Each structure stands twice: as C-alpha cells, then as structure tokens.
Amino acid sequence: MGLMSIVSGKFSPLKIPGCTLWLEADRGITLVDGKVSAWADQSGNGRHAIQGAVDNRPTYATNQLNGYPAMQSAEGKGLQIVDTGIVSLTALTMILVFKANDVTTNQVILGTNTTGVAQILNNTMRVYLDTGIGGDFAYTSTATSILVLVFDGAQVGNENRYKAFLNGEQKALSFTGTVPDTFPTKTDLYIGAYTGLYDYCFTGLIVVPFLSFPSVLTSSRRQQIERHYSSKYAIALA
Amino acid sequence: MAFVTTTDKAELEKYQAEVDSKEGYPEDLARHIYVGGGIHAPKELGQAKHYAEIIQHPDKTEYALPQSVKAEVTAKLTAVEALPVDWVKEEVMMEDK
C-alpha cells in the first residue's frame, strides 16, 4: 500500500522522501516586467532563488519546451539561492533539466562562488564538487537534457563516489582530483551563473535548475524522475 | 548619469537615496506578479531596492554605480588593482564622458 501510494497518481518529487530543494519553471515564479525576480522552492524548505538586481534578472519565456515555460538565461543573468544549507553531506542526488543554445563557450548551469557544479565548456560537460575536483564527459547536444548527479561518500574510488547520468545513461567521467567522502560545503548557489558577478552565464533555457535529495536515490527512483521529465519536456531517454 | 567617487558613506547614501527616488526604487511590489501554481516566494525577497549599488575598490574607495555598468567597472577595478589609484578613478570617470 505504501509503495503503491508512491508510484500511483500524478508524479511529484515530494512523493520521494527527503526532497530538499525543488525549482520548476511552471511553478512559483515571480515576474517583474517579464523578468524573473524570484523562483520559489517547491520543497517547502524555503530555499528560494532570487534576483534583486534588475539588470541581472533572467527573462521568463512561455511556451518553450514542449509547450511549457522556461527561464531564458543569458550573459549577466542569473538567480541566487542564499544559504542553501546543503553542506558536507555524505550522499546527494541532484537533477537538472536544461537546453543549451551552444556547447562551445564556458557556461555554468548551476554554480557556487568558487566553481560550477555543472558547466558546459568546449563540447564537454564538467561536473564539479569543488575547485579542482570533478569529472568531464563529452557533451555536444543542444537538445533538452536531463542531468542527474549522484554523490555517494560511503563508496570507495572516484567513479563509485561520483556518477553522472545524462538522459538516463550513465556517463564515464574523466576525473580531476580525488573525490572526497563528503560533499564539499556549498552555501550560496547560483542558477545559470557563477559568482556574484554573474560570470560565465548559461545561455539557453532552464526548466529544472535544481532538484535535490540528501541521499543516493535508488535506480528505480532516479528512473521514475527521468521518465517524468522525459514525458513532460519530450526528452528522448537512452 | 554622473558617477560619485567618494569615501564619505553619508554622501554616498544621500546620492543613493536621491537617485533611487528619481528612478522609483525600491520597486513597487504591486509590479511583482506571481506566475504558475505551487509555493511562491515573498515578493520582498526579489525586490530591487536600489538603482545603483555601492562597490568597493581594494583601496577601500567606494563608488556608486548604475547596475548596468557595475560588472564592467568592477572587472576593470580588479584588473588595474596594482596601478595607482588616481589612474583607476580616471578610468571610472571616463565612463561618464
């Protein structure tokens, strides 16, 4: 009965225990003159992404991905989540859904003050835990993508501790540095940007910049989320 | 738009208040519109409170600059950190010409 109640009915990340942060482009948006001033956390934890500087506000675009709205990010535009409280975890699962305009320039989809948690550079997706620690895999697509990052500090070895799934397929990461057994402290996060100066901004559409759980989701849970966003945003899964 | 370069915080705040008043800041929250279902953030969280933001040079000199040129000028200030302060001020003031 418990499991049935989880898998039946309309999907919501909140049906999966432990959702710590959930931003989605058709929910919780605050607009001023067509620009996004706030993007509310749907998890109930109040980790809202905000932008109080008029010139740094991204545009909100309707009817973009499979008919759904999206945040149109561009150079100098982004949102900040102040004090995420996501610090030194031993396990973490993060999900992002986005569509890049190009894959050659340096663009941060999700960043911190010191590094890009997920960034695109020269046909490569770079997923970082901290400066100098992370992994790369080839990324050449300008189609809508689902990226799932899984950190499991209880495991041994880089490739066991940190994994990346693109559109349902696990990618082989080319690692730099040694992945620690706790996720490095992350306080402030930036959506579509990097640092408070809004450098290396993502150019494209973002619909789910951050959906996170403080645990390693089981494969079936992860696939449930991937199937949901695949259906919602018409993304082909591997 | 004239720039103010001064270390006098009271003068900067006076300038800031004057410009904000002229430009209509803080933003009127009635212009903040909720879109989509679900939870929404309090409108105050994303409210723009100033037209210009005060930035500080490594030599502690403070500048009140329009948001539109803040990133550019900040980058310039960082880039010329080792040069004489007067030169930096001159460069910043040139933006006004």
CA distance A72 to A203: 7
Reduced to 3 states (helix: H, G, I; strand: E, B; else coil), residue B96 is coil
The encoded tokens of residue A197 equal 């100066």
Residues 151-210 of A with CB under 8 A from B: 197-198
User: Which residues of A are less than 8 Å from B77 in CB distance?
Assistant: none
Which DSSP symbol is given to A109?
E
CB contact under 8 A, A197 and B38: no
pLDDT at B48: 93
A6-60 pLDDT, tens digit each: 444 689 999 999 999 999 999 999 999 999 999 999 999 999 999 998 889 999 9
pTM of the complete model: 0.84
The encoded tokens of residue A193 equal 């940007």
CB contact under 8 A, A30 and B41: yes
Reduced to 3 states (helix: H, G, I; strand: E, B; else coil), residue B16 is helix
User: Which residues of B are less than 8 Å from A29 in CB distance?
Assistant: 34-36, 40
A66-110 pLDDT, tens digit each: 999 999 999 889 999 987 766 568 999 999 999 999 999 999 999
User: Which residues of B are less than 8 Å from A26 in CB distance?
Assistant: 36-37
Identity of the amino acid at B12: L
A158-195 pLDDT, tens digit each: 999 999 999 999 999 999 999 999 988 778 899 999 87
Tell me phi and psi for residue B69, to 5 degrees: -115, 0
- Separation in Å, CA B14 to CA A16, A190, B70: 52, 32, 19
A99-145 pLDDT, tens digit each: 999 999 999 999 988 888 999 999 999 999 888 899 999 999 999 99
Mutate to test the interface with B, among A26, A35, A37 (most CBs of B within 10 A): A37
Kindly give the confidence (pLDDT) of every residue in chain B, 97 residues in length, as a single tens digit, with 9 standing for 90 and above.
Answer: 445 566 667 777 777 788 788 888 899 999 999 999 999 999 999 999 887 766 666 666 666 666 666 666 666 655 444 333 333 334 444 333 3
Say if CB A47 and CB A28 are below 8 A apart. no
Residue A56 forms contact with B (CB below 8 Å): yes
pLDDT at B76: 60
Using CA coordinates, name the residue in chain A closest to B72: A197
Asked if pLDDT for residue A214 goes beyond 50, the answer is yes
